[in-house]
Amino acid sequence: MLRAILTCLPRPLARLLCGAGLGLALAALTACTPQGALLMSVLPDGTVPVLLGHLQGVDDGNRRRIVEFEQRGDWDALSKLAEDNLARDRWNADWWLVAGYAYSQLGRHQRAVECYGEMVRLAPDDMLGWNLLAQSYRAAGQPQRAVQTLNNAVLVHKDVPATWFLLGESYNDQGRSEPAAAAYREAVQLDSGFARAWFGLGRAYARLGRIAEFEQALKTLERLNTSLAKELAELRPATR
């Protein structure tokens, strides 16, 4: 199974904008800190990318402009391109996605929330929109809204590991370790190789003082990602 590994990255969006079709793939990435800046990007070499969305309703000329602006880091130009196209066609979910991406890069998280909210409204079956909307709420310092969004999202599709992972992260933002553990468990049940979710699960168990479960999560993580396993080991709860 392809795995969603959510982490902080620079700007490699154009890596998957190649070939004649110039198919854009975006991944929803988690903030480096609970309320840090939101970054969406293609996962780098050495991780397992999940293609969460493609711009099907954007012509090749505009796709090339998206690539150009992204490579230059010209987020103002990218947001203007998106807004100009939305002025002509506000029913195009793809342009709401581009707009949300640009505004998130500009740190305008409330506007990104509005854009991703429109994407969800227009394409409610597309889990990319739900995940990015939740991430924008997290970046805006609104973890409760993120939790609400993701709980609604899993009513649409219960089989997306990334959504459960983000729900665990959002509960973690609130310091709610019990529901966070439950969400992380759903993620690893759907994808047993999802290292970030195992880390989150182990962290939740550590905070809950559940030593046996923590050790099991750590043992699994040691097989998947030694760096994350070392980080988790530092959180080992004291034995009573």
Is pLDDT of 13 > 60?
no
146-240: CATH homologous superfamily? Tetratricopeptide repeat domain (1.25.40.10)
C-alpha to C-alpha distance for 193 and 143, rounded to whole angstroms: 26
What is the pLDDT at residue 60? 77
| Burial letters 8-39, b for 16+ CB under 10 A, else e | ebeeebbebbeeeebebbbbbbbbeebeeebb
C-alpha to C-alpha distance for 35 and 14, rounded to whole angstroms: 26
Least confident piece of the model among 20-29, 51-60, 162-171, 199-208: 20-29
Helices within 73-108 (DSSP H only): 75-88, 93-105
At residue 69 the predicted structure's pLDDT band, cuts being 50, 70 and 90, is: confident
Least confident piece of the model among 18-32, 65-79, 148-162: 18-32
Task: Output the furthest CA–CA distance in the chain (Å, rounded).
Answer: 64
One-letter amino acid for residue 54 of the chain: H
pTM beyond 0.85: the answer is no
Helix (H) or strand (E) run with residue 169 in it = helix 161-173
What is the pLDDT at residue 212? 96
**What is the average pLDDT across 171-190?**
97
What is the pLDDT at residue 154? 96
Is pLDDT of 223 > 70?
yes
C-alpha to C-alpha distance for 30 and 38, rounded to whole angstroms: 7
